[in-house]
Amino acid sequence: MSAQPPAPTEKGILQFLAICDSFYPPDAVQASIEQQRHWYDALCARFDRPLPPEMIFADGMLQRIPIRRYRPRKISTRTILLYLHGGGFVVGSLESHHAICAEIADFAGAELVSVDYRLAPEYRWPAQTDDGFAVLKHLLSANSKVVLIGDSAGANLAAGLALRARDEGLSGVVGQVLIYPALGGDLAAGSYIEMAAAPGLTTADVAYYREILQAPAGDEIAEPLQAASLAGLPPAFITVAHFDPLRDDGRHYAARLTEEGVDVWFREEPQMVHAWLRARHMSEGARDGFRAVCEATRRFAQT
């Protein structure tokens, strides 16, 4: 008899996983890209929420890249939040993280820009990071400060953008908020083995998304854990889920940043799974984790 894969016990997150399973089959990556996006869009819509009161948002273009701007009822800083959505570089859009972006902007009292970067397989690496970097450079030229935020694949992009900004001598990135980031860790070690069959995301899924993206192995921007140096990067808030094959990517990145003199705030959510952001209104652990994300964002934005 095979051992059961590691799984959380918190009632709210188990309910969340049951809902996800009803929308998104465990073998989803074997379906067509069109079908995957249909399932993902339906799942995101299931967890959609009304926006905070008096939140204003509008779609537009920056450097020919689609973006959505959020402006909360109360602005307490001129710092701009730049959000890169998750979805394995294959799924996700301005709609998929709509309420998440609005709630972060509202809590931080800051304008937020969400990027609709190009997706794989239609567009392979480095289209995704190039889209994000074009928007970042535009924002830095118009505003003095930016906080980078991303979840999963979006956190990979955010971490890469922080490296690109440092390497090109761009100032103004005052923080990076990385939520269960994918950072190029070893698929045959650590949490990729321990949590290979974790609910919500498996190691096989991660391998699939890497293959779709076709980023060159060892590229420092595609795999920030492979960067020769992390010195000089902006302060970071990193949160990981215990039941997630990506867990050790965040752990190791936080440790390296600390060793190289970068201020880091690190959290490991003990009962959480990958994509727990969507459970923030139904799980106590996700609610606490999301508040920590929002508080870190506000702290960076007020710097």
- What tokens does 242 get? 């215990």
> What is the C-alpha to C-alpha distance for residues 200 and 194, in angstroms, rounded to an integer?
14
> What is the C-alpha to C-alpha distance for residues 13 and 188, in angstroms, rounded to an integer?
27
Active site residue 116: no
Active site residue 76: no
Catalytic residue among 93, 152, 191, 283: 152
Say if CB 263 and CB 235 are below 8 A apart.
Answer: yes
| Residue matched to tokens 């391998």 | 207
HEC states along 135-194?
HHHHHHHHCCCEEEEEECHHHHHHHHHHHHHHHCCCCCEEEEEEECCCCCCCCCCCHHHH
Catalytic residue among 205, 244, 248, 249: 244
- What tokens does 128 get? 């995704």
> What is the C-alpha to C-alpha distance for residues 239 and 250, in angstroms, rounded to an integer?
7
Catalytic residues: 152, 244, 274
